[in-house]
């Protein structure tokens, strides 16, 4: 069933319709929250709170934008509020730390590769978190969440040209910050 039909049914009081919308968007909202908080428990709580807010605001949704865009807007605002209240404290869950098994050479090499990959991911995430908010949000929505320019434009109430130029600037800032690390590791081609 399409989002519009599900929204209409949910607005008419169908809990099943809203459950379908939650099922469709839950992983995306959770993933967005996780990319900002780096804490699975906080991301899970935030996702639940976003859906609660969406459910309560559903009667005021008139379909001027796509449901997904409307939900992303609620998500962005809620996550920003959470980060402001937390003072942008960096959160790392112990669940994210993997136990290393040294059973054989192959496992050790694979673990080393995973650690290098995770170290790069952490470095990139740290630099993304260091971007000014207007750039960080756009990079997260486009490069991490995979949203289209039009969806980002609608969610942030910006023109597509502004989205494009901010994304270009954000990527350039990241490239500049990452260049010394990648060149040192022989990863110049990854830029």
First to last CA, the chain: 41
Q: pLDDT at position 109, please?
A: 64
Once rounded to an integer, what is the mean pLDDT over residues 67-87? 88
Tell me how far apart the alpha carbons of residues 152 and 139 are, in angstroms, rounded to a whole number: 10
Query: What structural domains does the chain harbor?
Result: 1-91 (1.10.1740.10), 104-186 (1.10.10.10)
Q: How high is the pLDDT of residue 125?
A: 80
Which residue, chain included where needed, has tokens 């605002």?
77
> How far is the C-alpha of 180 from the C-alpha of 164, rounded, in Å?
26
* Vertex 21: Cα angle to 19 and 27 (nearest 5): 100
Question: Quick check: pTM over 0.85?
Answer: no
pLDDT of amino acid 117: 75
Q: How sure is the predictor about 182, in pLDDT bands with cuts at 50, 70 and 90?
A: low
Summarize pLDDT for 86-118 with one digit per residue, the tens: 875 444 443 443 333 333 455 556 666 777 777
User: Where would I find the beta strands (DSSP E) of the chain?
Assistant: none
pLDDT classification of 38: cutoffs 50, 70, 90: confident
Residue 50: pLDDT band with limits 50, 70, 90: very high
For 123-138, what is each residue's pLDDT tens digit?
778 888 888 989 999 9
pLDDT class of 168 with cuts at 50, 70, 90? very high
- Can you give the pLDDT at residue 99? 37
**Radius of gyration, alpha carbons of the chain:** 19
Let me know: does 142 contact 149? Beta carbons within 8 Å. Answer: yes
**The predicted structure's pLDDT at residue 183:** 62
Residue 153: CA atoms inside 13 Å, Cβ hemisphere, count? 10
Asked if 38 contacts 47 with a C-beta cutoff of 8 angstroms, the reply is no
Q: Looking at residue 110, what is its pLDDT?
A: 63
Reading the block at residue 25, the tokens are: 């968007």
pLDDT recorded at residue 39: 87
Among 17-21, 58-62, 101-105, 147-151, the minimum mean pLDDT is found in 101-105
């Amino acid at each position: 069933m399409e989002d519009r039909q599900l929204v209409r049914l949910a607005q008419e009081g169908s809990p099943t319709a809203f459950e379908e919308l939650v099922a469709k968007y839950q992983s995306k909202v959770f993933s967005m929250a996780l990319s900002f908080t780096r804490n699975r428990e906080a991301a899970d709580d935030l996702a639940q709170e976003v859906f609660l807010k969406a459910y309560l605001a559903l009667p005021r949704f008139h379909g001027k934008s796509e449901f997904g865009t409307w939900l992303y807007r609620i998500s962005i605002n809620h996550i920003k509020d959470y980060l402001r209240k937390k003072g942008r404290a960096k959160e790392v869950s112990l669940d994210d730390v993997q136990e290393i098994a040294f059973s054989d050479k192959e496992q050790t090499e694979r673990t080393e590769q995973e650690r290098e990959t995770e170290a790069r991911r952490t470095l990139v995430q740290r630099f993304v978190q260091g971007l000014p908010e207007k750039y960080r949000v756009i990079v997260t929505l486009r490069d991490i969440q995979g949203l289209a320019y039009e969806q980002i434009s609608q969610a942030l109430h910006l023109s597509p040209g502004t989205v494009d130029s901010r994304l270009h600037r954000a990527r350039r800032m990241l490239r500049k910050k990452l260049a010394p690390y990648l060149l040192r590791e022989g990863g110049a081609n990854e830029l």
